[in-house]
A and B are shown apart, each in its own frame.
Chain A
Amino acid sequence: MLLGLSWAILAGSMVSLQNVFNSKVNEHVNPWSTTTLVLGLGFLASFLSGFAFEGMELFQLHNMKPWYWFSGLVGIGVVICVTQGVKLLGPTFSISIVMAAQLVFALAWDSTGLLGLEKVPLTFKQLASILIIIAGMIIFKIGGKRKTAS
């Protein structure tokens, strides 16, 4: 479990760094230029890492199913929804909702086993944990005006 947890923490830290970097890019160009650049570089980095670790095996797509090609489009949906949300509500409120929705859907997925995921029955403890986490996020995000340090 600790290994899985470490992966999640590494991913979360990188997401945070990436958000800072991407918003710096976004200050100068429109969201689609940023998205194209970010996904293009992500593709390149993944391709090179894959080639370094797997060599020619990277090109063997034996079990490829057609819908796999389209799963990348979900990322486009993320960009459209999040940029619109932030534009309409401002980053603080919008990102709080994004994060809460992420958790609610995670719980829904685990408990329904949709898309062939291993079904994890919903327990009261899980629901309570998620509510505590969401409460924490909301307090973190909207609780108290954070003053700018001089």
Chain B
Amino acid sequence: MKGIFFSFFGGAFLTLQGVANSQISRDLSTWQVATITQFTGFIIAGLILIMMCKGDSLELKKVKPLYLSGGTFAAVIIFSNISAYKQIGVTFSVSALLLAQLSLSFIIDSKGWFGVTKQKMQLPQFIGLVLMMAGIILLAV
């Protein structure tokens, strides 16, 4: 039950984040929004890290440098997200974003790219993607 509660609010916060960003972007430029929100988040996450006294940053050396760069994608993600929210609204944006996210994860999983465990494509995943696409087309027309 607690897990469901956390997951549910995780989703709610994700949507709230997108909405807040697109509202702020009426007063500030999209790049300013991306810079400011991540700056605050970075400082607070850093403080929490220090308070937890779990400095394991040396372990980062074990991670392939390519994978460390994932954070930089956020610049593109936030910029695209704000542009989408403004142009096609929240519901449509979130739906299309989730479809693209699941589709690409699916390709990565089935091809075993980036060293992830290779997983076979099965009927339920195929049906799931088709249903999601149908829902998005229904939203659009």
Contact = CB atoms under 8 A, between A and B. Distances in A.
Interface of A: 1, 3-5, 7-22, 24-25, 27-30, 32-33, 35-47, 49-50, 53-54, 57-58, 61, 63-65, 68-82, 84-89, 93-95, 97-107, 109-110, 114-118, 120, 125-126, 128-133, 135-141, 143-144, 146-149
A122 B39 CA distance: 35
Interface string B108-131: 111011111111101111011111
Given A8-B84, A78-B14, A32 B93 contact: no
Chain A binding site: helix, strand, loop or mixed by DSSP? helix
Interface in B84-141: 84, 86-106, 108-110, 112-120, 122-125, 127-136, 138-140
Contact of B90 (A17, A94, A106, A143): A106
Contact of A97 (B7, B32, B125): B7
Interface residues of B, number: 118
B60 A88 contact: no
Contacts of A88: 2-3, 6
A15 B37 contact: no
Contact of B31 (A44, A53, A82, A129): A53
18 contacts: A10-B76, A12-B101, A16-B100, A33-B54, A36-B42, A39-B42, A43-B39, A50-B29, A68-B24, A71-B21, A71-B37, A93-B3, A99-B98, A110-B89, A125-B139, A130-B139, A136-B134, A149-B110
